[in-house]
Structure 1
Amino acid sequence: MTTLEHDFLPGSLVRARGREWVVQNDSRRDWLRLRPLSGAEDESIALIPELELHPVEPASFEWPDPAHAGNHAAALLLRDALRMTLRAGAGPFRSFGNIAVEPRGYQLVPLLMALRLSTVRLLIADDVGIGKTIEAGLIARELMDRGEIARLAILCPPHLVEQWQSELEARFNLHAIALTSASASRIERELPHGVRLFDHHPVVVVSLDYIKSERHREQFLAAAPECIIVDEAHTCASSGTGKQLRFELLQRLARDAQRHLILLTATPHSGDETAFYNLLSLLDPRFAALQGRMTASDPLRQELARHFVQRRRKDIVEWQAETQDGRGFPRRMKTELTYQLSGEWGAFFDAVQDYCREMAEAIEQQDTQQGGARLIWYATLALLRCVASSPAAAVKALTTRLEGTMADDDLLSDERLHDGEADDLMGSDLEPPAQLQDASRLHDLIAEAQRLSGKKGDPKLAALIRHIGSLLEDGYHPVVFCRYVATAHYVAEHLKAAFPKATVDAVTGELTPEERRERVEGLEDAGQRILVATDCLSEGINLQHLFTAVVHYDLAWNPTRHEQREGRVDRFGQQADEVRCTMLYGQDNPVDGFVLNVILRKGETIQKELGVLVPLPEDEARISQALVKAALMRRSDSSMAPRQASFDFGESEQLLAPLQAQWQDALEKAKANRTVFAQRRIKPDEVLPEWHKQQQALGTQADVQRFLQSACVRLGSPLEIGRKQARFLPQHLPEALRQRLSDEGIDKPQSIDLAELHRSHPLVGLLAQHLLEDALSSERPLAARCAATLTDDVDVVTTIYLLRLRHQLSYVRRREPFQMMAEETVALAVRGRTNPQWLADDSVNRLLECTPSGNLPAEAVQREVRAALDFLAAHPQPLQALAEQRAQALLADHERVRAAARDVGHHSVSPCLPVDVMGVYVLLPDAL
């Protein structure tokens, strides 16, 4: 057995098993995790020193060999490769080397809040489109890179699973598996024998539908990760059998006082007091006691403010104006577009109303039981809603028989009829049935609806086509939201005919989430694109990168759905300065009139007053009753159809009076909570410079592009540069590199958007890792560790030493000590050799990017490099001084962020010596 002679700290270099390694963060004296000095993170190993045949010993990093000198381009390539391989960056935010998103200042606020909590319990309730996914991802990635968590689970509604999986991969460099009812059995079969799912897959996105069953719920609770993110958290806090089970699950998860819990919702308070305080109790059970006593001076409310952040668009805009951040949200320009139920279509609408009245009178005469009345009221609403939507939806409703077998409780709450509750906007987009009997009158209505299909007979479609034409002319890319599948296909078909030069596609609930995503992405290259969609896209797929306008072809009966539709386009990442939103409605349609004046206008007033939407309280029976009364109101017989304002919805509106009162009450409570939870006291602009500093150290977007292009050229597979994208051709690369790329799914030619490419992309990381390994082991490396260059950019011999600094960062959190390794690449230069002048600022990097003016013989190059190495050996003090200086600067950066976050704990930083000399590059003045 080997005797332990050394206590290796993170960042130390060791020799074991005939190879050099770097000691990693989670190592102990009796157990070491090691990363190969010239290898990648995924090549790390763990070993027990006592069991090794040969002792684990301290190692030193070999200096460059003058015999393997290269040219200046190869020297630059090594510098860039070294920066691209850095993941454990030396800044105070450990995650910034692993993320592919540039957070805006306000998105750092939840991260700063998390840093000051020993156990992170946060409710992030920012407005739709502000970027809650990014805010939560930053926290989780930071905790992971600090070594405070090793496993993560995201719980979300089924339709958001793929979006979360994609966002984690693309933005946070986290490979997650999707655990759904459909995928669970396959994933479990593929597990190694005896290994638990959450141990084998450290990052998992879990569908809330999957853990409905008791067996799945108990399995999850038994092995749940130490950090949980819950998206659409309000769906787990309100009443109802399925939701109650979700709430019990979160309660049991929250009982572990060490578990991090991040709750996300844009609608924390939807008028249901109990649900709101259920949500707060997950942060801390004490917060449930705030119900009925939420006053500004209450110490418990002030404690809640450490765990709850809620910003409106207005808050963000005000903050950006104060800090000159300069990149606000686009202007949301709203307009309304009306059409009249005139001519033959108006006569058809009146005929449908007459049919519904006759059916109601017949049922009242023949069947005094409640069930018959419910059927006719359901049929009335279903039919008039589908007729208002489109001829195609009307035909579908008229030809689908409504059987009297639905339970009374289910009938008027059928999701095909309504627009979903405030916390569930993914209701069915199928048309509701409306056929009660096979009468000849019904056949006549069906034939008339079919005959009036198209622009000529359908005034609503004609109004849309005119409006889309003006949007396209102004350079906008519109999304047209419809309520029903039949309407979406009908609208798409006629838009294709009206705009043959545009690319038009339809996305409905008939498609799987993956198929929907593919349809949307298939429009990316179109010069003019129009997407027609049902509300299956109102959540789950972001549209801001492709679309700049929203048209509500069908009015939603729930204001929250309108906001969700517009929020798909008007959200974080939208590059347009202006987003247009249009609401289309029939100016003499009584159903549209009631929804518009009694529901949507009220929601809009509340939103303007508060800055965020407060959902309409749930009561389908009361809303249905009011809608039925409005639906059967007669239109004026005058040739001049009345405008919506002339409808008298007195009786219908009275039915909704109790809901309106609840809605107003919810507004007042939300207003009382808003100020303290906007977190105005936290100043992210104080730490935003740390982001920019780390970006410069790790490599900017321009650095990434230059590296990728240069690396591909040196590897014999240059990129094919196009107007917007570049094409990468892996087939010409070395076999070993091709295999590593194939393991990451990069095994065939593919297009790359250079403007979106980030250093955390696997292609960038693998190319950099390959070049670095080659430079450290090959006798003819592609990236050079040493070179001598003639240039007009210097007037005296100047030597640049490319250095890799490692620091040991120690801090205490939850009374537990943590030790981490931080790495950075810096360049140190010396002008002259007799009276040397040392340089260690930005000018050194500019020197490294000088322009060569001539070549030197190989013997001269080797001679100059040897002289530079001898000089460094004789003057080791500047390297040590630089390491100490950088450690102190790093500590100051950490302390500044800690102060801004009011973080708890204590930090210390010490350099790992000796410094690694990665490259030596001599610049000689060109005498010519």
Structure 2
Amino acid sequence: MTATKPDARETLAPGSVVVVRDEEWLVYATEETTDGTLVHVQGLGELVRDTNASFYTRLDHVVPLDPAKARVVADASPRHRRARLWLESTVRKTAVPLGERALSVATRGLADPLSYQQSAVHKALDPANLRPRILLADAVGLGKTLEIGMILSELVRRGRGDRILVVTPRHVLEQMQHELWTRFALPFVRLDSAGIQRVRQKLPATRNPFTYYRRAIISIDTLKSDRYVASLRRQRWDAVVIDESHNLSNVSTLNNRLARLLARNTEALVLASATPHNGKAESFAELVRLLDPSAVPADGTLDRDELRRLVVRRHRHSPEVARVVGADWAERQEPNNVLVAATPAEDAVARELEETWLWPGRGGSPYSGQNAALFPWTLAKAFLSSPAALKETIDGRLGRLGNDDRADAERRALLQLAELNAETLRRPSAKYTKLVAHLKQIGVGRGSPARAVVFAERLETLRWLHRSLPKDLGVSDDAVQIMHGGLADDEQQRIVEAFKQEQAPVRVLVTGDVASEGVNLHAQCHELIHYDIPWSLIRIEQRNGRIDRYGQKHPPRVTALLLDPSSDRFAGDVRILAKLVEKEDEAHTALGDVASLMGRFDVKGEEDAIRAVLAGTKDFDEVVRPVAAVAAADDFAAMFTQLFDAPETPPVVTATKSEQRTDPGSGLYDDDVSYLEDALGEAFIDPTAPPARGGVGWRRNAAFGTVELNPPPDLAQRLEVLPQTYLTDRRVTERLVLATTLARGKDRLAAALRDDSDSTWPDAHYLSPLHPVLDWAADRALAALGRNEVFAVRGAVNAPTVLLLGTLTNKRGQVVSSAWLTAQFPAPDSPSFALVAPHGSAREALAALGWDAVRTNPRPVADLDVLQRLIAPAVHEAEKHLLTVFAAAEQDVAQRVEQWSRRLDRWDVEADALIQRSEIKQRRTSVEQERALVLAMAPDQHLVRPLLVVVPDMEGGTQ
């Protein structure tokens, strides 16, 4: 295939410089819309330097500057500082090509380099897929949030992550925001209740908040409301992340409506869930359709190869995981099931429940409602939780009773049960007494750092424990915190963050199942207590995963307190619940998928099945299958387990030696802090001076691995999008402290959980490649050159040489391929002959120019008129050379586009036979959108830019 050469001087490709409204702008993305070409730009001139803008070519006169007419100017700065800064900034601002297999920035954050997480990122970015779409279905504790951060980091570096929306349950908003900022320097505006209030104060009521913030994190409960759905329909995103995505599969829910809307309006989509299916192939197919509507045939069947392409699933004992987590994930101890003999008063309640409610005689249950088989077990479950929970259940039922004869009979039975239960409230509860003893045994008490999380299902049980534990443990009231779904989202987040801090007073967290999904509680805690046992393996696994996860340094211990009445029947029930805890532990080790044991795949379904076992209508072994039976089963759940929990993990494609390089810079600087320091030196006469004297108070402490500065106004303005609590706690717009080494960054992040600052935000944020301060430095450096200018410098060349960068882009303005070239002119007075040489990277090209070391600059380059005549021939010769180079890239993309088109054609053929079905018509709309995307991915323009003119340095000059 022969590449078609567009007129590069008319192109609006990313990296080109344009003039709009008499200001100079750098193009970073373009897109074709129904209203014409939309050009996204960043200001270069003094008046617009900190401005991002978008212009329609139909409405504004967008004039691209002709690279062949670039003007050569001499760099007179010491050691060519201005040229080095400009080149480094250009490299940083040039997007990594879409097809690049190596990870550029994902491995340079504060996440441990775990191969299984990196393999998930490689799969998400696989060039074989036209857009990044993946379901992260790793089991609880493997670090799906870190995988999300790594994927988003790479998308940003590839120019595919400018606008990002993250959707999570509300109680993990701050946790997700914290991880993405502290580990990857990705700032997100948190739109919780307080955040939304701040937005309303800033914006007019009619303003769409999603146009104001480029990157936002919001809860799914907030976002699915009709108020925001209307705003979302008008927004396009580069990437959307939806956490706990198992809540999306029911097509009749608002969650699914929201997910379908977002899936249509984003290029990259990352779904995350440790429990991604409910055992029904059709429900799982709905999740897969969100990722790729053509991956599920029109008849709804699931294809194993498509699932392998779109889904990542591992668990704690998968070989890929087990061989790398080591001591950073201590093995769980054996379950500690503690049978607690009931008191006489509690035995009396148990007998009353048995004889009157659970297994009544001929008269039957006194329950007067419609489901006589259900309410007695609600009473039994409340009793096994706590006397307080049973009282609440009885009182609630009494308040709903009518006045007929049946209601009167039930009222009498309830009052009799209430009278017996009242006696248990007046005396010490056996299980509560054991809880207090157990907490003291593990070291919880005044002056001790030991912590524990106590789970219970009933809100009244939580309140009772919250009221009683401080006095009986001898600790202050704030040492015992309660968390439940009725609390405001910011209060839930505050409690979770406090539990992670070593110096926070909280020692016991009593919580309901609101904390069983997504919350990390292992930072200071390895003791978990089930005060009551859920009648669900899924819920038990979710609870245990709060402390049994990567990063847990101490063997986590799970203790279950089981009230053991003296009656045989109730004793049997208790042992059934104890077996649930043991089965969860067995499946956790062998399968990593406890839901497969019961085959219900949702908490309510499992509770109903266990209720049948307790009622005696089913056997336990019939409801909870052995692990071996699950592995041998022939159903969708077994297929899921076999696909993603297989002992052999497909190998990750290994990049070449040059591709494995993870440094995204040019090599002109040893590290990010040296680049930042040089940028400050160029921008300010004396960066170390205080702001009042024209500096920024720059301080570099190499021994401690930190730097400090007072952000100037333009930087402080950029920092306003950082997490609000981080800005408040650390006051970084006044004094910004940065950790400059990986070790120091990890140390300060860990120290935030140990110090007495009452904040989990580090006092020194790690200076990773995507940090906004580096982006600010790059923009300042790029503004150093005038309109369409190129620096002339000296280097280790034999004849004047022009350094050029060529980029191939598609209709979406994304860089498909890039190439670094040098054009040498042996006879500069006759520029008709140029020796064009390709280079594998910016580093290689600069090394060929002798710019792999800092060079002295004794005087500015002279004879600029001669060098000026080299620019146009260099650009033209490079364009000719790139016709061949880019032809291969175009051919590769064309083949993938063709393959994708054939996939869509096959889906259409299959759908034609089912067109009478309304859901097929809806799916066809999504497939047609996919077809339009495929066409937009084809390369359609390239740009060649001269970056540097290098003349021979007859005097040497490296230092």
TM-score by length of 1: 0.66
Rounded to whole Å, the distance in 2 between the matches of 1:888 and 1:496 is 77
Partner of 1:697: 665
Map 1:19-38 to 2 at 5 A: 20-26=24-30, 33-37=40-44
How far off is 1:448 after superposition? 0.9
Rounded to whole Å, the distance in 1 between the matches of 2:575 and 2:454 is 22
How far off is 1:803 after superposition? 10
Aligned with 2:809: secondary structure? strand
Rounded to whole Å, the distance in 2 between the matches of 1:220 and 1:272 is 30
* Residues 335 and 581 in structure 2, CA contact (< 8 A), matched pair in contact too: no
Aligned with 1:459: secondary structure? helix
Map 1:171-210 to 2 at 5 A: 207-210=219-222
Rounded to whole Å, the distance in 1 between the matches of 2:526 and 2:819 is 41
Rounded to whole Å, the distance in 2 between the matches of 1:496 and 1:882 is 77
How far off is 1:354 after superposition? 4.5
* Residues 549 and 581 in structure 1, CA contact (< 8 A), matched pair in contact too: yes
Rounded to whole Å, the distance in 2 between the matches of 1:802 and 1:346 is 91
Partner of 1:128: 140
* Residues 94 and 146 in structure 1, CA contact (< 8 A), matched pair in contact too: no
Partner of 1:674: 641
Aligned with 1:912: secondary structure? strand
Deviations 1:329-349 (A, max 9, x none): 62432233354536xx74454
Farther-moved stretch of structure 1 (201-210 vs 576-585): 201-210
How far off is 1:614 after superposition? 1.5
Map 1:527-676 to 2 at 5 A: 530=507, 532-534=509-511, 535-543=513-521, 547=525, 550-571=528-549, 574-576=550-552, 579-586=555-562, 588=564, 590=571, 593-614=574-595, 616=598, 617=600, 623=607, 652=616, 654=618, 659-660=623-624, 668=633, 669=635, 670-676=637-643
| Alpha-carbon spacing, 1:440–1:168, altered in 2? closer, same or farther (3 Å) | closer
Letter paired with 2:698: P
Alignment partner of 1:447 out of 426, 430, 436: 426
| Alpha-carbon spacing, 1:404–1:913, altered in 2? closer, same or farther (3 Å) | closer
Rounded to whole Å, the distance in 2 between the matches of 1:882 and 1:329 is 51
Rounded to whole Å, the distance in 2 between the matches of 1:763 and 1:48 is 29
* Residues 804 and 824 in structure 1, CA contact (< 8 A), matched pair in contact too: no
How far off is 1:130 after superposition? 3.2
Deviations 1:695-751 (A, max 9, x none): 353789982355567777644423596999968563xx5444444545766433466
Aligned with 1:808: secondary structure? strand
* Residues 519 and 546 in structure 2, CA contact (< 8 A), matched pair in contact too: yes
Letter paired with 1:807: G
Partner of 1:636: none
Rounded to whole Å, the distance in 2 between the matches of 1:81 and 1:19 is 23
1:330 maps to 2:329: yes
Alignment partner of 1:235 out of 239, 247, 253: 247
Letter paired with 1:88: A
Deviations 1:14-58 (A, max 9, x none): 566665543444178987554344776744453749965999665
Rounded to whole Å, the distance in 1 between the matches of 2:656 and 2:213 is 33
Deviations 1:644-699 (A, max 9, x none): xxxxxxx7483656643699987633233334456978643424967752435378
Partner of 1:717: 697
* Residues 311 and 677 in structure 1, CA contact (< 8 A), matched pair in contact too: yes
Partner of 2:488: 512
Alignment partner of 1:370 out of 367, 390, 393: 367
Letter paired with 1:684: V
* Residues 15 and 59 in structure 1, CA contact (< 8 A), matched pair in contact too: no
Identity %: 20
Letter paired with 1:462: A
Aligned with 2:10: secondary structure? coil
Alignment partner of 1:747 out of 723, 728, 733: 733
Rounded to whole Å, the distance in 1 between the matches of 2:564 and 2:365 is 33
1:7 maps to 2:7: no
Deviations 1:181-236 (A, max 9, x none): 99889968976697666555565656444576678667756767686554333323
Rounded to whole Å, the distance in 1 between the matches of 2:892 and 2:523 is 35
| Alpha-carbon spacing, 1:911–1:626, altered in 2? closer, same or farther (3 Å) | closer
Rounded to whole Å, the distance in 1 between the matches of 2:391 and 2:950 is 71
* Residues 315 and 645 in structure 2, CA contact (< 8 A), matched pair in contact too: no
Deviations 1:90-139 (A, max 9, x none): 684599677657673222243145x4334666544332233445555666
Letter paired with 1:12: S
| Alpha-carbon spacing, 1:607–1:694, altered in 2? closer, same or farther (3 Å) | closer
Aligned with 1:915: secondary structure? strand
1:245 maps to 2:245: no
1:684 maps to 2:652: yes
Farther-moved stretch of structure 1 (585-594 vs 331-340): 585-594
Alignment partner of 2:55 out of 46, 68, 80: 46
Partner of 1:111: 124
Aligned with 2:275: secondary structure? coil
Rounded to whole Å, the distance in 2 between the matches of 1:55 and 1:276 is 48
Rounded to whole Å, the distance in 2 between the matches of 1:16 and 1:449 is 78
Partner of 1:641: none
Partner of 2:913: none
* Residues 178 and 206 in structure 1, CA contact (< 8 A), matched pair in contact too: yes
Rounded to whole Å, the distance in 1 between the matches of 2:606 and 2:621 is 10
Rounded to whole Å, the distance in 1 between the matches of 2:714 and 2:700 is 22
Partner of 1:424: none
Alignment partner of 2:320 out of 318, 321, 327: 318
How far off is 1:594 after superposition? 3.1
* Residues 384 and 532 in structure 2, CA contact (< 8 A), matched pair in contact too: no
5+ residue gaps, structure 2, are 1-6, 403-412, 566-570, 681-686, 689-694, 740-744, 747-764, 825-838, 901-936
| Alpha-carbon spacing, 1:554–1:873, altered in 2? closer, same or farther (3 Å) | farther
Deviations 1:155-191 (A, max 9, x none): 5545455555666666676666667899889968976
Rounded to whole Å, the distance in 2 between the matches of 1:216 and 1:53 is 33
* Residues 35 and 43 in structure 1, CA contact (< 8 A), matched pair in contact too: yes
* Residues 173 and 761 in structure 1, CA contact (< 8 A), matched pair in contact too: yes
5+ residue gaps, structure 1, are 295-299, 408-433, 631-650, 778-784, 789-795, 830-837, 853-860
How far off is 1:846 after superposition? 15
Rounded to whole Å, the distance in 2 between the matches of 1:721 and 1:871 is 46
Alignment partner of 2:774 out of 742, 765, 790: 765
Rounded to whole Å, the distance in 2 between the matches of 1:773 and 1:495 is 65
Aligned with 1:305: secondary structure? helix
| Alpha-carbon spacing, 1:280–1:878, altered in 2? closer, same or farther (3 Å) | closer
Farther-moved stretch of structure 1 (539-548 vs 361-370): 361-370
Aligned with 2:661: secondary structure? helix
